Structures are given as C-alpha cells and as structure tokens.
C-alpha cells in the first residue's frame, strides 16, 4: 500500500522563477539538502528533462531512483512517476502552481510512495518530514533569487 504526503505553501516569488527552479534538476543538489546528485538521462524536443536519475539520502542510507516527468499541464503542473528505484516500488507526484493575490505562487506538492519493504510508522513520519523539507527548501531558493 502506498503512503502519501502533501504540502501547500505560498512562495513570494514569480511563477517563472519557481518553475525554473523546480525543473532545473541538475541544480537540485545545490539547494535540496538530501539530493546528492541528479543526472538528466533524456530530454524532449524542447530541451526539458524527461528522465532524471537521482541519488538521495533516505532513511540513513543512499538511494537511487529514476523519475519520468510529464509536462502536459505545464506551467501549472509538473508531474512524475518512477521508472526504476532500489528501495521503492512506486513513486508518483506533482508540483501544482497557482497564483496568489500578492504576485507570488501557491505551490501544492503531492507525493505517493510505495516502498519495497514495510517500515514502522515513526520511520515513515521521519522520512515524510525530510521529503516535505525539500519543498520548503525550494521556497527558500525561489525567495532568495528574487
């Protein structure tokens, strides 16, 4: 059974900046603490990354996985699903961007993960906090680039 996490935050930065940070996967290790490397494997005819291999810190170890990105609802939504991974059976997620009244962006992040091995609830909650921290780190990055 998949576990889900969701977070909605307001970012005081233009949509274009938030989108640029969210889709510049190769720079994730510069601002996302748990992302150790991100390598773009394939791009579409517009130069957008369509498959990205990540190495991240997870549950006290390093994990590898490859995500496939869907730009069909761009720039309002960026969604992904896992192509391959070592400790996960499935990963599906999305960033959804909408304007707020102050010229910023409301970012909603949804994630569904199914692990290969079941984990105790307290370990899952700790992992969820770390995953959602990456969204907060995106906010910090976007607001610091204004």
Decide: 117 and 108 in contact? Cβ < 8 Å: no
Structural domain count of the chain? 1
Q: Is 38 exposed, middle or buried (0-12, 13-18, 19+ CB in 10 A)?
A: buried
The token duo for 63 is 């994990």
The model's pLDDT over 22-81, given as tens digits with 9 standing for 90+, comes to: 999 999 999 999 999 999 999 999 999 999 999 998 666 788 999 999 999 999 999 999
Assign residue 22 the CATH number of its domain: 3.30.530.20
The model's pLDDT over 93-120, given as tens digits with 9 standing for 90+, comes to: 999 999 998 889 999 999 988 876 666 5
Query: Can you say how many angstroms the Cα of residue 75 is from the centroid of all Cα atoms in its chain?
Result: 15
Provide the residue range defining the domain that includes 77.
Answer: 3-144
- pTM score of the predicted model: 0.90
């Amino acid at each position: 059974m998949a576990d889900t996490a969701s977070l909605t935050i307001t970012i005081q930065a233009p949509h274009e900046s938030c989108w640029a940070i969210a889709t510049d996967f190769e720079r994730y290790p510069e601002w996302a603490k748990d992302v150790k490397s991100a390598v773009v494997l394939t791009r579409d005819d517009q130069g957008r990354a369509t498959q990205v291999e990540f190495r991240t810190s997870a549950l006290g170890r390093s994990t590898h996985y490859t995500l496939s990105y869907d730009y069909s609802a761009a720039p309002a939504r960026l969604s992904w699903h896992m192509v391959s991974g070592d400790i996960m059976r499935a990963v599906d997620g999305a960033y959804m961007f909408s304007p707020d009244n102050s010229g910023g962006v409301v970012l909603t992040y949804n994630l569904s993960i199914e692990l290969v091995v079941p984990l105790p609830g307290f370990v899952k909650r700790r992992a969820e906090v770390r995953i959602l921290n990456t969204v907060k780190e995106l906010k910090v990055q976007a607001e610091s680039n204004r």
